[in-house]
Amino acid sequence: MNDDRHMQLGVLPEQGGSIANLRRVGQDTRFVEQYLRLYVREFEEVHYYSYAREQLPQPLADNFHLHGNPGLHRWLYAFLLPLIHARTLRRCSVLRVMQATGAIPARLARLLFGVPFVVTYGYHYSTDFRAEGRRFRAWLFDRRAEFALRSADGVIVTTPALREFVARFVPAGRIALIPNSVDTKLFAATPTEKSPSSRRHLIAVGGLTPNKNHRLILEAMALSGRDDLELVVLGKGTEEEALRRLAAEKKLALELPGIVPNDALPDWLRRADVYLITSLSEGHPKSLLEAMSVGLPCIGTDVRGIRDVIASGKTGWLVPPEAGALAATVHAVLSDRAAAQAIGDAARRYILENHDAAVVMAREVAFLKTAARKRL
């Protein structure tokens, strides 16, 4: 049986993943600060198996080891990783697979060396492909996820709906409901001076993809009849030019600054008047939790994932995915600052009580150590 004082943790990203990839989408600081810093405190040694040749810009800790890809294609590397890094993998007490799409080397390491693994299922990975009409690719992603779930020693899910789904493949005793967390000190409700402009600022955060459905916001702005609205969408993706064309056609103020590092995101949120999330479906959206943490009034479509976070009329507002309904709700929120602020304050309290990183991540570490103790 493993001794907690001498447990070693291996961390596997999604297939093809790396800290450099996270840096490109502005998520590296979140991962390092919320996950890796905790892991190096709680485990004797921590090994991160990257799909890239990379180094951290600054050393993390003496007991953190970054193992890179020697230059192989991500598919080939996924299968060879357990052999290439056999020396350190054998010593791991448990493997933490950050997403189900990264489970191939974990399953092989379990078969070869008996190392248990814990995987997160925080999102239906085929969703974006289905929204784009790529049904075969969506089917393949669903099979890969099922492959990971059935063999995992532990599965972390972020919402009750995802727990219900995973329970089709995994015994209840191997499933842990651990929601996404927020660094509530970084995403604090600190007042930021608003722009002297008379415009009211709407903000959305997320990839510019069909599933995120940012077009709905522009259509709602056009229907509102207001000429004082400006929309900022932080992210990159295939919908960028379509959004620019739609905004120009309807003479709407749209700003697309691209990807913003996570540690710079709080200031963007605090300068806004309303946060909008209009996805067709979600897993457990971190950006929504972060907007609520800064006390920003939030409006979301009444769909899977978003309705798991927002209690409509209490911590935010849910609307059907229709431009008219969204336009009416945005107008109502902007017209009553006191009511909007009260909802924002309630959202902040909800995050502190349910999603504070210090509390949530302690539950994850306990779950990982429980799985590690199963190793013979």
Task: Report how far apart the first and last C-alpha atoms of the chain are (Å, whole number).
Answer: 6
The answer to whether 323 touches 223, Cβ cutoff 8 Å, is yes
- What pLDDT, on a 0 to 100 scale, did the predictor assign at position 310? 97
Express each pLDDT in 6-47 by its tens digit.
899 999 999 999 999 999 999 999 999 999 999 999 999 999
Express each pLDDT in 133-150 by its tens digit.
788 888 888 888 888 899
Mean pLDDT across the stretch 60-89?
A: 97
* pLDDT beyond 50 at 68: yes
Express each pLDDT in 117-130 by its tens digit.
999 998 887 777 77
- What pLDDT, on a 0 to 100 scale, did the predictor assign at position 239? 96
Q: Which two tokens stand for residue 143?
A: 């099979």
CA distances to 45, 279, 335, 366 from 362, in Å = 17, 30, 41, 6
- What pLDDT, on a 0 to 100 scale, did the predictor assign at position 139? 83
- Exposure b/e, 59-79, CB count within 10 A at least 16 = b: ebeeebbbbbbeeeeeeebbe
Strand order in the sheet with 200-205: 253-258, 229-234, 200-205, 274-277, 298-301, 317-319
Which pTM does this prediction carry?
0.88
Backbone angles phi, psi at 201, to 5 degrees: -100, 120
- What pLDDT, on a 0 to 100 scale, did the predictor assign at position 244? 98
The answer to whether 177 touches 194, Cβ cutoff 8 Å, is no
Q: Which two tokens stand for residue 160?
A: 């009750």
Domain ranges, ordered by start, for the chain: 4-181+356-372, 200-354
Express each pLDDT in 271-297 by its tens digit.
999 999 999 999 899 999 999 999 999
- 1 pLDDT tier (thresholds 50, 70, 90): very low
Say if 4-181+356-372 and 200-354 have the same CATH topology: yes
Identify each DSSP E strand in 50-197 by its residue range: 64-67, 94-97, 117-121, 154-157, 175-177
For the domain made up of 4-181+356-372, give the CATH fold: Rossmann fold (3.40.50)
The answer to whether 305 touches 283, Cβ cutoff 8 Å, is yes
Half-sphere CA count of 86, side-chain side, radius 13 A = 8
For the domain made up of 200-354, give the CATH fold: Rossmann fold (3.40.50)
- What pLDDT, on a 0 to 100 scale, did the predictor assign at position 130? 76
Q: Which two tokens stand for residue 306?
A: 């978003």
